Chains A and B, each alone.
Chain A
């Protein structure tokens, strides 16, 4: 039996407290004349228990921003705390372990491994945490059943429709109950109805206290599901829209 790896989760976060705090975060790719500045000083508070969308034109810095707050990319300047952890203080291996324990990813291209079964794809985060493949696959099957994919666990992902693949990707992102769910264009490959159902699934599963969801999207059909919409433009957040009448969470925007 595999031994569970110690987690790197921080302390519980109260609902609507700040899950992710960014202050003056900058990022530049390349050097000299070929340098491209992707983020020009981002100030943003992402509340716990809410769904935050990052919207904006292509190349505005949305993907760089989620890569940084998910611990995939290092920032050049500014401060960042995710559930109280400054990711810059973690070494590469600790950062990988932090992602493993705290972050669920839904990729635009799904990135389901075609050689693995649906259940095995979903079980990957648990296996990475040290759970045995058998136990992880059983849990994956249970989760898939709740997502309407009962009995599809042994199938190849290639035999599923786009919507079913997206649900498998969601199951993979949720199976280890991550504190932060990062979604990159989760509805871009889906029709309106399926997109709505997928977003409701994401929202229903992860907008719980001490959890946070960040969604990068161009899809204005789902904007109404967001608690907060951060408009990113040219490496800055130039507008922050709250769904409720409450004022935006502390932490200004530019």
Chain B
């Protein structure tokens, strides 16, 4: 009878496609919104991963997340270096500064200043130039994506050329990407582009500009506290957790492993913003849309077939057999609907890969979508099963 159950499901094409679309749309909405949510949240701590291998981040204990640097005194670096178990400690600057372009337009940039000596904390991928070029006078490296979008130069100005005295450009005129050799101003100080880099998308939409620490603090407004964090590597064999505890005790600063700092940052965004609620609503909406559309369609499908189930019951099919048929129909519809939805989400994800859209489908997300679709199918089939259980086989003799 299982084969007949499947044929009954596929045979009523209007309802079958309705059920499929309902379940597909529900799983699409659930998986897509969850993936965008995960992608977006991953960006909140993407910079921590971008910095590369360090054992500990040391920062102001009142700092909640990585993009909210609360500057430390310059002495913090030496104090951290003095803690037993620290192999090396490097300063890091991270701050939003205004860049001025030759056409007079201004753009807020996320300026990262990395250790002059070790260049630790630099970008993972360099598209043009080399990291050592940052040691040249006024050198900066610019994120390649922003060089094509936000930091655009007048087309009339050749790469590396300096505007002649009195020469001006129309800010709305034709533009070209920033290239190696171009000159910009950072906080009214000269900065020469020596390379292009690729960075992970972060929560801060501003273009990322890399330079060395000593130069970054000259771009930053004068202050006694300019250092955003200290990056620490432990001596070999040193337990990072124990070292973090020691740094906290001896310096009064916060010290966390990169993963823990990422979770602290994530926790801030999760608890202090409305993002989870908004995405949660979208995901719940997907679930309820699935229940409403697919559930109702499936229930109507069963109602339409009730007289045939009644005939089967009269002919000797047990109630369990009929319930099995309904469950199988729900399961098949669920699996196909889920496949449809996840397929669409995967296509969406592939299309979005490498773009600005935050999208990250963890392996747990298809499982969550599958669980949601299962619940939808159970809810839909329970109502249908109830009708089948209550079905009186003698009803088949009633004319309809």
Q: Point out residues on A near B: beta carbons under 8 Å.
A: 63-64, 66-67, 70, 72-73, 92-93, 96-101, 103, 105, 107-109, 111, 113-116, 120, 124-125, 127-129, 133, 184-185
Contact = CB atoms under 8 A, between A and B. Distances in A.
B58 to A, nearest CB: 69
Interface in B101-146: none
Contacts of A115: 7-12
Most buried by A among B315, B321, B400: B315
Interface SS, B side: helix
A99 B316 contact: yes
Nearest to A98: B316
Contacts of A184: 397
A108 B314 CA distance: 14
Given A72-B397, A98-B316, 20 more contacts: A63-B397, A67-B394, A72-B393, A96-B313, A96-B319, A97-B316, A99-B316, A100-B315, A103-B315, A103-B316, A105-B311, A107-B396, A108-B397, A111-B307, A114-B11, A115-B10, A120-B4, A125-B316, A128-B315, A133-B4
7 cross-chain pairs, A with B, having the tightest CB-CB distances, nearest first: A100-B316, A115-B11, A111-B311, A67-B394, A72-B394, A99-B316, A73-B394
Contacts of B313: 96
Nearest to A188: B399
Interface string B27-61: 00000000000000000000000000000000000
Contact of B1 (A63, A111, A128, A185): A128
B275 interface: no
B386 to A, nearest CB: 17
B8 A113 contact: yes
Interface in B300-322: 305, 307-308, 310-319, 321
A128 B3 CA distance: 12
B224 interface: no
Nearest to A102: B316
A92 B317 CA distance: 11
A97 B318 CA distance: 8
Contacts of A127: 1, 4
B398 interface: yes
B11 A96 contact: no
Contacts, number: 89
B11 A99 contact: no
Interface in B158-173: none
13 contacts: A72-B392, A72-B396, A73-B392, A100-B317, A111-B310, A113-B8, A113-B305, A113-B311, A120-B7, A127-B1, A129-B316, A133-B4, A184-B397
Given A66-B397, A72-B394, A105 B3 contact: no
A109 B310 CA distance: 12
Interface string B186-230: 000000000000000000000000000000000000000000000
Contacts of B314: 70, 72, 99, 105
Given A96-B318, A107-B311, A109-B307, A116 B397 contact: no
B318 to A, nearest CB: 5
Given A115-B12, A133-B3, A109 B399 contact: yes
Contacts of A98: 316
B316 A93 contact: no
Given A115-B12, A116-B7, A63 B311 contact: no
B322 to A, nearest CB: 10
Contacts of B312: 124, 128
B4 A113 contact: yes
Contacts of B398: 63
A113 B308 contact: yes
A96 B316 CA distance: 4
A99 B321 CA distance: 15
Contact of A107 (B8, B317, B397): B397
A3 to B, nearest CB: 15
Interface in B1-21: 1, 3-4, 7-12
B34 to A, nearest CB: 36
Nearest to B313: A96
A133 B400 CA distance: 29
Contacts of A116: 4, 7-8, 11
Contacts of A101: 316
A127 B10 CA distance: 20
